Structure 1
Amino acid sequence: MKSKKIENAEENTLKVSQDIRIRFNETDALGIVWHGYYLHYFEDGREAFGRKYGISYLDLKAQGYVTPIIKSSCEHKLPLRYGEIATVETTFINTLAAKIIFKYKIMNAEGKTVCTGETVQVFVDDNNDLSLTFPSFFKAWKDSYKLI
């Protein structure tokens, strides 16, 4: 079942942009970034988002939760090459479900979209139990950004 998006999500969009430099070890024999590294770039975006908005992995862990990814998608449009600077734009998608959804857009130095994607994370407590509702700290976080 698809989660409902909150109606005023566009008004309260939270996003962050993070520059990354393509390293040699991220490229394949063709000299382009190996497709699996794009998920690493998504994680760079999530970490930048967490630092900016006070909801990092360490913040979640301090509240007794982890947020494993249960779904990820990635659509490649153009290649990236060693030495290039790319920008990962990470956008929080507001939802009524007890999930964290991010959309990603990776752009090259020319501003062209090279990749888009999405991840979905759920809340799991220290007892390894899945939370079917927002943990109270996350509800308070959403409220602080007028997302509820």
Structure 2
Amino acid sequence: MIESTTEVVVRYNETDKMGIVHHSQYVIYFELARTHFIQESGIPYRKVEEEGLMMPVLGVEAHYHSPAFYDDTLIVKTTIAAYDSIRMKFHYKIYRKTDQKLLADGSSEHCWTDLSLRPVSIRRKNPELHHLIVEACR
């Protein structure tokens, strides 16, 4: 299984009055890490979109363990948790770089669709992309 690592430095505007990263930012960190994972896996996402495929979000789940603060460098580790040629689920773990403490973990589930938002099977629509995803899952 491929695991991607993405670094994110917490910016001031991502924190609340207490200097703690606002909970909504973690979903943004998940998305940054997901797109980075796709790039590292050799899946040309821009090309996929040009072929009329999209991957809207079906759901997001986040669990918070310990706070992140302004100027922390975060490490987001991303893997594919499930794939069935139509749906994909990504799993994320966010650590603080300095002490490797687990701060949050979660997942996002997506569905491959055409431009009309009708679900499509990547196995049928784009066998090459399907193969890349299957390889990323091993």
TM-score range, shorter chain: 0.7 to 0.9
Cα distance change on mapping 1:77 and 1:68 into 2, 3 Å? same
More helix per residue: 1 or 2? 2
Residue 78 of structure 2 is matched in structure 1 by 90
SS at match of 1:124: coil
Q: Match for residue 3 of structure 1?
A: none
> What pairs with 1:57-72 in structure 2 (closer than 5 Å)?
57-72=45-60
> What corresponds to 2:7 in structure 1?
19
- Among 3, 22, 26, the residue aligned to 1:34: 22
Unaligned runs of 5+ in 2: none
Partners of 1:113 and 1:83 in 2: how far apart? 17
1:101–1:119 contact (8 Å) kept in structure 2: yes
**Contact kept in structure 2, 1:63 and 1:137, CA below 8 Å:** no
Q: CA RMSD in A?
A: 2.0
**Could you tell me the TM-score, scaled by structure 1's length?**
0.82
What number of residue pairs does the alignment pair up? 135
Identity of aligned residues (%): 24
Confirm or deny that 1:81 pairs with 2:69: yes
* Unaligned 5+ runs, structure 1: 1-12
TM-score scaled by length of structure 2:
0.87
User: Taking structure 1 as reference, are residues 19 and 99 closer, same or farther at Cα in structure 2, changes over 3 Å only?
Assistant: same
Runs of 4+ in structure 1 over 6 Å off:
none
Residues 45-70 of structure 1: per-residue CA shift (max 9 Å, x gap): 01111111122541320221110000
Q: How does 1:59-138 map to 2 (within 5 A)?
A: 59-96=47-84, 98-109=86-97, 110-131=99-120, 133-136=121-124, 138=126
Task: Provide closer, same or farther for how the CA distance between residues 100 and 56 of structure 1 changes in structure 2, counting only shifts above 3 A.
Answer: farther
